[in-house]
Amino acid sequence: NAGVTQTPKFQVLKTGQSMTLQCAQDMNHEYMSWYRQDPGMGLRLIHYSVGAGITDQGEVPNGYNVSRSTTEDFPLRLLSAAPSQTSVYFCASSYSITSGDEQFFGPGTRLTVL
Amino acid sequence: KNEVEQSPQNLTAQEGEFITINCSYSVGISALHWLQQHPGGGIVSLFMLSSGKKKHGRLIATINIQEKHSSLHITASHPRDSAVYICAVRYSGGGADGLTFGKGTHLIIQP
């Protein structure tokens, strides 16, 4: 199994550009989520999904969209990039939303918005 | 806002020392996770606890539900243990809104 994969690993955008961060998992996990990691702060939840066709907002959803058309894929879209979105983005998945499930993280995408 | 507090924020120790990293949280939880993030950035899950104690190799994690506190211990520490250790909790009371993370403890083990 490849686990959780993310692409790209690095990205530089100009203010106002849009892009999609890709996330895929091959473990048949129902629960997938996106976090951002900023210096001096813990990871913060952006959006999550409990299954195909179901998504919801997390703590910091503004400026981001998600969709979940398949169990495997959970892309994160930046609609109009802003410097405040410069961060490291992690996708994570687990078998279900219950408390007993191990979280698997992707390798991260380092995004810089100029 | 429910918070997760970790201490210390930074820790430098000599190889072989016994290491303790602490995590406290404010309200009831259904699970607590300890994660490790290496300098390359990748995050791996070390433990998931809802009660008691777990051990894996030189790592031991404990949780006290009544005191809302967890500790991660590393015995016979080694330079390869140098990493950021992150505590994260899933608050009880329903909802699928992910984990709440501490800011991490940056551990350096010197040879």
Task: Report d(CA B22, CA B62) in Å as an integer.
Answer: 10
Cβ-in-10-Å burial (0-12, 13-18, 19+) of B94 comes to exposed
**A16-38 tens-digit pLDDT:** 999 999 999 999 999 999 999 99
Instruction: Please judge whether A42 and B4 are an interchain contact, meaning their C-beta atoms are less than 8 angstroms apart.
Output: yes
Contact predicate A84/A68, CB 8 Å: no
| From B43, B88, B98, residue closest to A58, measured CB to CB | B98
For residue range B52-75, list pLDDT tens digits in order: 999 999 999 999 999 999 999 999
Parts of chain B with a pLDDT under 70:
1-2, 93-97
Model confidence pLDDT, tens digit, residues A34-70:
999 998 888 999 999 999 999 999 889 999 999 999 9
DSSP state, A73? B
What gap in Å lies between CA A76 and CA A6, rounded to an integer? 10
Report A:50-109 residues touching B (Cβ under 8 A): 50, 56, 58-59, 88, 90, 97, 99-105, 107-108
